[in-house]
Amino acid sequence: MQTSLFIAQVIVSVLLLSGILLQPNGSGLGSSWGGGGETYHTRRGVEKVVFVITIVAAVLFTIVSVLLLLQS
């Protein structure tokens, strides 16, 4: 069981990392200090899909990490 959780954690972490790196520039906290956040921007199409996948991957990563913690 623990080995399968390790494999799942690696897969989810790669998915999470990919989702974070595919986010468009200027949409995070960096734009708060550097400007560029003057207009409201709605996510559409592929940008919205990547955003939702990133959130789902973060939740799955948290769940798998807690399960691994409880196993040991």
Average pLDDT, the chain: 84
- Position 9 scores a pLDDT of 96
Q: What is the pTM for the complete model shown?
A: 0.76
Lowest pLDDT segment from 24-28, 43-47, 67-71: 24-28
CA–CA distance, 53 with 23 (Å, rounded to integer): 11
Count of other CB atoms within 10 angstroms of residue 19: 19
Has residue 10 got a pLDDT over 70? yes
Nearest to 69 by CA among 53, 31, 61: 61
68, 13 contact by CB (below 8 A) = no
How large is the greatest C-alpha to C-alpha distance in the chain, in angstroms? 49
Has residue 12 got a pLDDT over 90? yes
CA–CA distance, 48 with 18 (Å, rounded to integer): 14
Has residue 41 got a pLDDT over 90? no
- Position 39 scores a pLDDT of 65
